[in-house]
Amino acid sequence: MKEFLHNYGYSSVKMFVNQFAISLFGAVLSMATTMAKSDILAIITSILAILFYLFLVYALMWEVGAKDRISVDIGKKQYRPHTGLAVAAVASIPSLLIAIVYSIGYPFSAAHEWAGGLCVVASFFNMLLQGMYFGLTSSISFLGSTLNLFWLTHFVIIIPALVTAWVAYYLGHKNKKFTTLFNYQSPDKAKKK
C-alpha cells in the first residue's frame, strides 16, 4: 500500500481536486438552473458537467497509464491492469464515506431528528464533492421522490469515475486513444489505400 501511495498518491489527490473543482462548477450551474425552474436545463447542464469531469478523469488516467507502460517495458514495474480503478477508488474514499453516512441515517430520518440531521450534513458534503450530479439527481423523480433523496444514488454516482479511470488507464497503457477506437474512414480515403 505504501508503494502504491508513493507511486500514485499524487494522481489520486489530483483526481480528488479535479472532482472538487468540477463539483463546485456543477453545483453552481445546477443551482442557477433550479432557480430558473427549468428541469430540462438542469439535466442538460448536469450531464455536460459530468461529461467534463469524466473527461478530466480520462485525461489524467490515460497519462498515468502511458507513463506506466514505459516503466513496464523496461522492467521497472509490473503491469497491473486495475491500477486506474485503484487510483480512482482512493480518490473516491471521501465520497464513499459520505454515502455510508447518508445510508446510516436514511432509514431513521423520518422518525429521529439525529438521523435527519445526519442526512442533511451528508447531503451538504455530497453537494461539495458530487455537485456535478446534483442537477440530474434533483430533477428526476422516482417513486414520488427525487433521486438525490435515495441512499443508493449516493453510491451509484461514484461508479462512472471508477469505470472511466479503469478504462483510461488501460487505454493509456496500450497507447490507444478513445477516439481511435472508432476507426472510421470515409469511403474516399478507404479507396485510396
The pLDDT confidence band at residue 168, using thresholds 50, 70 and 90, is: very high
pLDDT given at position 90 = 92
Residue 183: pLDDT over 60 = no
Residue 158 pLDDT > 60: yes
pLDDT greater than 70 at residue 182: no
> How far lies 28's CA from each of 22, 56, 127, in Å?
10, 19, 10
Q: How many CA atoms are closer than 13 Å to the CA of 94, on its beta-carbon side?
A: 16
- Look at residue 192 and tell me whether its pLDDT is greater than 80: no
Cα 159 to Cα 115, 128, 169, distances in angstroms: 26, 17, 16
- pLDDT (tens digit per residue) in 128-153: 888 888 888 888 777 777 777 788 88
Looking at residues 49-61, what average pLDDT do you find?
92
pTM of the model: 0.82
Percent of the chain with pLDDT over 90: 28
Domain ranges for the chain: 11-175
pLDDT at 33: 81
pLDDT tier at 193, thresholds 50, 70, 90: low
Summarised one tens digit per residue, pLDDT across range 100-109 is 998 888 878 7
Chain segment 64-118, per-residue pLDDT in tens: 999 888 888 888 888 888 889 999 999 999 999 999 998 888 878 777 888 888 8
pLDDT of residue 118: 87
Task: Pinpoint the alpha helices (H) of the chain.
Answer: 2-35, 39-73, 83-91, 93-105, 113-130, 134-139, 151-156, 159-173, 187-192
Question: Which pLDDT value is given to residue 153?
Answer: 87
CA distance 105 to 149: 12
β-bridge partners, 146: 141
DSSP string across 72-87: HHTTSS---TTHHHHH
